[in-house]
Structure 1
Amino acid sequence: MLLRYFYDENLAHASYVVGCQATGEAIVVDPMRDITAYEELAAKENLNIVGALETHIHADFVSGSRELENRFGAKLYLSDEGDADWKYQNIDHLNHQLVKDGDQFKIGNLIFEVMHTPGHTPESISFLLTDRGGSADKAMGIFTGDFVFVGDVGRPDLLEKAAGIKGTSKVGAKDMFESLERFKKLPDYLQVWPAHGAGSACGKALGAVPSTTVGYEKMFNWALQYDELEAFQKELLDGQPEPPSYFAVMKSVNKTGVELVKDLPKPQAIKSTDELKKLIADGEQVIDTRASASFGNGYIPGTINIPFNKSFANWAGWIVDYKKTLYLLLDPESLDQVVEVLRSVGIDGEISYGDVSKLIEEVGELESYKSMSPEEAKKMIKDGRANVLDVRNQSEYDEGHIDQAYHIMIGTLKKRLDEVPTDKTLIVQCQSGARSAIATSLLKANGFDDLVNLSGGYAKWQEVLSV
Structure 2
Amino acid sequence: MDAITPIPVVDEGLGNSSYLLDLGDGTALALDPERDLRTLRAEAAARGLRIAYAVETHLHADFISGVAELAAVEGAEVVAPQVGERAFRYTALEDGGRLDLGRLSLRALHTPGHSPEHLSYLVYAGEDLAGIFTGGSLMVGTAGRTDLVAPEQTIPLARDQYHSLQRLMELPDETPVWPTHGAGSFCSSGGGAERTTTIGRERRGNPLLQLDGEEAFVEALLAQMGTFPDYFRRLPEVNRRGPAVLAEPPALAPLTAEQVRALVADGAQVVDARPVAEFAAGHVPGAISIPFRKVFAVWLGWLADPDVPLVIVRGGDQDPEAIAAAAALVGVDRPAGELSGGMDAWTAAGGEAAHAGLADTAGLADASAEGVQEARIVDVRQASEYADGHVPGALNLELGALAGMDAGQLPGGPVVVMCAHGERAAGGASLLQRAGLADVTVFKGAPEDWAAATGQPLVTGPAR
**TM, length-normalised to structure 2:** 0.89
Superposed displacement of residue 292, structure 1: 0.6
Partner deviation per Cα, 1:98-153 (whole Å, 9 max, x = no partner): 11111111111101111111111111111111123xxxx32111001111111111
Distance (whole Å) between structure 1 residues aligned to residue 239 and residue 309 of structure 2? 22
* Corresponding residue number in structure 2 for 1:200: 185
In the alignment, does 2:20 pair up with 1:17? yes
The match for 2:380 among 370, 377, 391 is: 391
In the alignment, does 2:280 pair up with 1:286? no
* Corresponding residue number in structure 2 for 1:162: none
In the alignment, does 2:278 pair up with 1:275? no
Distance (whole Å) between structure 2 residues aligned to residue 183 and residue 414 of structure 1? 40
Distance (whole Å) between structure 2 residues aligned to residue 115 and residue 276 of structure 1? 51
The RMSD of aligned alpha carbons is: 2.5
Distance (whole Å) between structure 1 residues aligned to residue 427 and residue 264 of structure 2? 18
Aligned in 2, Cα 1:31/1:270: closer, same or farther, shift over 3 Å? same
The match for 1:336 among 307, 311, 321 is: 321
The match for 1:71 among 70, 73, 94 is: 73
Aligned in 2, Cα 1:300/1:235: closer, same or farther, shift over 3 Å? same
The match for 1:223 among 208, 219, 227 is: 208
- Within a 5 Å distance, the mapping from 1:23-172 to structure 2 comes to 23-81=25-83, 87-91=84-88, 94=89, 96-132=90-126, 137-159=127-149, 165-172=150-157
Aligned in 2, Cα 1:377/1:145: closer, same or farther, shift over 3 Å? farther
Partner deviation per Cα, 1:32-60 (whole Å, 9 max, x = no partner): 11233343444443333221110010000
- Bigger mean CA deviation after superposition, 283-292 or 415-424: 415-424
5+ residue gaps in structure 1? 82-86, 160-164
- Bigger mean CA deviation after superposition, 441-450 or 219-228: 441-450
The match for 1:327 among 292, 304, 311 is: 311
Aligned in 2, Cα 1:3/1:390: closer, same or farther, shift over 3 Å? closer
Contact 2:376 2:416 in 1 (8 A): yes
* Corresponding residue number in structure 2 for 1:359: 345
- Within a 5 Å distance, the mapping from 1:308-323 to structure 2 comes to 308-323=292-307
SS at match of 2:431: helix
Superposed displacement of residue 196, structure 1: 2.4
User: What amino acid is the match of 2:255?
Assistant: I
Contact 1:10 1:341 in 2 (8 A): no
Distance (whole Å) between structure 1 residues aligned to residue 279 and residue 403 of structure 2? 19
* Corresponding residue number in structure 1 for 2:461: none
In the alignment, does 2:165 pair up with 1:177? no
Contact 1:280 1:302 in 2 (8 A): no
Contact 1:264 1:348 in 2 (8 A): no
Aligned in 2, Cα 1:140/1:461: closer, same or farther, shift over 3 Å? same
* Corresponding residue number in structure 2 for 1:84: none
Distance (whole Å) between structure 2 residues aligned to residue 363 and residue 217 of structure 1? 60
User: What amino acid is the match of 1:39?
Assistant: R
Contact 2:420 2:447 in 1 (8 A): yes
In the alignment, does 2:414 pair up with 1:425? yes
Aligned in 2, Cα 1:2/1:108: closer, same or farther, shift over 3 Å? farther
Contact 2:144 2:181 in 1 (8 A): no
Distance (whole Å) between structure 2 residues aligned to residue 8 and residue 166 of structure 1? 28
SS at match of 1:60: coil
Superposed displacement of residue 28, structure 1: 0.7
Aligned in 2, Cα 1:423/1:286: closer, same or farther, shift over 3 Å? closer
Distance (whole Å) between structure 2 residues aligned to residue 43 and residue 437 of structure 1? 39
* Corresponding residue number in structure 1 for 2:171: 186
Superposed displacement of residue 403, structure 1: 4.4
Distance (whole Å) between structure 1 residues aligned to residue 416 and residue 265 of structure 2? 27
Aligned in 2, Cα 1:238/1:47: closer, same or farther, shift over 3 Å? same
Partner deviation per Cα, 1:275-324 (whole Å, 9 max, x = no partner): 33344455421111111122112323332211000121111011111111
Distance (whole Å) between structure 1 residues aligned to residue 170 and residue 63 of structure 2? 31
* Corresponding residue number in structure 1 for 2:231: 246
User: What amino acid is the match of 2:91?
Assistant: Q
The match for 2:425 among 426, 436, 444 is: 436
SS at match of 2:173: coil
Partner deviation per Cα, 1:354-387 (whole Å, 9 max, x = no partner): 23254256257533221345678996699xx643
5+ residue gaps in structure 2? 459-464
Aligned in 2, Cα 1:25/1:457: closer, same or farther, shift over 3 Å? closer
- Bigger mean CA deviation after superposition, 186-195 or 329-338: 329-338
Superposed displacement of residue 263, structure 1: 7.1
SS at match of 1:156: coil
Q: Percent identity?
A: 33
The match for 2:281 among 284, 297, 300 is: 297
